[in-house]
Structure 1
Amino acid sequence: MKMSNPFPALLRAFFQEWLAEQRSASIHTIRSYRDTWRLLLRFVAERKGGGAARITLADISANEVRAFLSHAEHERKGTIGTRNCRLAGIRSFFSFVADKNPEYIAQCAEVLGVPLKRGPTSAPCYLEPEEVEAILAQPDRSTIEGLRDHVLLSFLYNSGARIQEALDLCPEAIRFEAPYCVRLHGKGRKERLCPLWPETTTLLKKLLERQPRAPGERLFVNRYGEPLGASGVRFKLAAYVEAAAKTIPTLRSKHVTPHSFRHATAVHLVSAGVDITVIRSWLGHVSLDTTNCRASWQTRPLTTRGTGPPSVEGGQHVGC
């Protein structure tokens, strides 16, 4: 006997069987898709006047998806990138449905035909060495929270890690003996080894001395011992940038995010003379084109060394 409403079972199978088991999707992908569908179901339920449990597959039409994406971008004030990420989560489900239940192929094709939205490509926020130093000087290192923030931002600058890569860091991933390095888990669960400067290793040791963590526990946690979230880091960073702008006025015109440190790492490594293929491995880029894009924002050679950035002495990469 055919189910009257197969949608709940299909959605459960999509997350539990296809994403988690067959595709072995990362926890970050699963959470992103989960958030997308939570928002979409709430949106459709409000428009249909019923609860989310009463939604059928026919209710998720291409027109409804377009309306949701418009809502996500304009009412919820999301970026075009966020809008496209929401669409990716919806498309993935309908691709799954088309393979599993071909009788819905027409509806699936309509939803899969909803296009991604092109947006303006803005230049990445580039930080000068003195701007990095000014930001790193803001956290009050006499407090555990200030020390944590200083170490986290210093680690981002040294490693060029993505924010989630840094927040997932555990002590067991760090080599505290020479040669200092850290094992990072990037997009697609790819692993890479990244060199650490002695200054960064010392900071990480100090943080662990003041706030001990087990080898497999997250290193960067809040006052309650829970792992930090990316939104919390962005909030604290905005306050540090605002304070640093009082001494470095150029920061007032820049939108600084945790990812800005990744751009700064790439540019400063190029300025220090590090080979572009080494930088690609350092940042975990799949293609040299991505690395060249980062490096193209180089403005001038490094002139400051206070935060432990890369330098070139006698043609050798110090800290590499």
Structure 2
Amino acid sequence: MTLLAPHLTAFLRERLPHERHASPHTCDAYAYAFQLLLTFASKRLRTQPSSLTLEQLDVPLVLAFLDELETSRGNTARTRNARLAAIKSFARFIEFRVPSCVQQSHGLLAIPSKKTDEKLVGFLTRDEMQAVLDAPDPRARDGVRDRAMLHLAFAAGLRVSELVGLKLDDVTLQPQAAIHVRGKGRRERVLPLWKTTTKALRAWLVLRGSATCPELFLNARGGPLTRDGFEHILAKHVKTATATTPSLKKKRVSPHVLRHSCAMHTLEATRDIRKVALWLGHATAQTTEIYVRADPTAKLEAIDAVLPPALRRGRFRAPDKLLASLRPSRKGA
């Protein structure tokens, strides 16, 4: 029997961050997935998590764990698939590290992911987006910082991890204002900025001063801003913007909704899905197709381009009132 702990530790602390160069967010997500799995396995097998073996991490146990996620914890199929992805990544790692567990690893890799609903993306209209951007108070230091963050998140279509991970050296203001973004999958891109976004950034840089922290946006203590910190800031300003734009009450505005809004507005302006994919840093244009499905103007162009079928002429004739009254009711039929 092979203890699970040493191999799992090597996977989370060496394989993911150093060999695979996974982002800190991915490492934390995988670690949390195994925290849930080991807690479930410990209760099911009645043993301490540190005493679990690789052989006990078999297909029936993992299938029971995945079912537990959906039934007891109420997780969606998408979340279930994310936890399974972490387990499969570990199975590939074990396949070569422990040859005696090859068959077991192949069994885990064969577990299928569940199909998920492809829902339309949520995004903000121009008026809603403008209300959120105008919510921070430019007379306060935090308001200047928040306004620069919101403008930059929307204008560049940044993921929240890309926004809080921006360094001071990633910003160029001369001769053309631009930012250097290190995105998902180690894909880098350079994006030019609007004059309004540049103006908001300049105002924040003046107040930021020469802080020793390399990150562009700092919290109240002078340290780097976190994902949770930005989510809290966004929720606060959305609540403020709701007073002037009541339609925001019906929408769940997350940091990723700002990215979706940027994509939808860019698609509306350019009518080119390739430019949207380039702006957002997508690996392929297929990922960007979700915005085409949510854009009604693309369907209107199809209606205008296709000749509709002819409608046969006819005239409706009402049935005779007496005969209609003699028809049996549906309840008595």
TM-score of Structure 1 vs Structure 2, range by shorter chain: 0.7 to 0.9
1:47 correspondence with 2:44: yes
**8 Å Cα contact 1:171/1:215 also seen in 2:** no
Correspondent of 1:156 among 147, 153, 156: 153
1:243 correspondence with 2:246: no
Instruction: Provide the alpha-carbon RMSD of the alignment.
Output: 2.5
Aligned to 1:141: 138
SS of corresponding position for 1:125: coil
SS of corresponding position for 2:294: coil
User: C-alpha distance in 1, partners of 2:184/2:152?
Assistant: 18
SS of corresponding position for 2:114: coil
* Cα distance change on mapping 1:24 and 1:258 into 2, 3 Å: closer
Deviation by residue 1:26-77 (Cα, 9 ceiling, x = unmatched): 3333232222222322332233333321111133222322333334445444
Q: Which structure: larger Rg?
A: 2
Aligned to 2:15: 18
1:7 correspondence with 2:4: yes
Q: C-alpha displacement at 1:138, in angstroms?
A: 1.9
The aligned runs of 1:237-316 (5 Å cut-off) are 237-273=234-270, 275-298=272-295
Deviation by residue 1:251-299 (Cα, 9 ceiling, x = unmatched): 2222221111112112212333374433322111122233343245335
Q: C-alpha displacement at 1:166, in angstroms?
A: 0.7
Normalised TM-score (structure 2): 0.80
User: C-alpha distance in 2, partners of 1:241/1:257?
Assistant: 10
Q: C-alpha displacement at 1:191, in angstroms?
A: 0.6
Q: Percent identity?
A: 33
Aligned residues: 298
Q: C-alpha displacement at 1:195, in angstroms?
A: 1.1
**8 Å Cα contact 1:220/1:227 also seen in 2:** yes
The aligned runs of 1:116-195 (5 Å cut-off) are 116-195=113-192
**8 Å Cα contact 1:268/1:298 also seen in 2:** no
Q: C-alpha displacement at 1:221, in angstroms?
A: 2.5
Normalised TM-score (structure 1): 0.83
Aligned to 1:314: none
Correspondent of 1:89 among 86, 90, 97: 86
- One-letter amino acid of the counterpart of residue 104, structure 1: C
* Cα distance change on mapping 1:98 and 1:177 into 2, 3 Å: same
User: C-alpha distance in 1, partners of 2:262/2:29?
Assistant: 27
User: C-alpha distance in 1, partners of 2:74/2:179?
Assistant: 37
* Cα distance change on mapping 1:119 and 1:292 into 2, 3 Å: closer
SS of corresponding position for 1:227: coil
- One-letter amino acid of the counterpart of residue 31, structure 2: R
**Residue segments in structure 2 that go unaligned for 5+ positions in a row:** 298-333
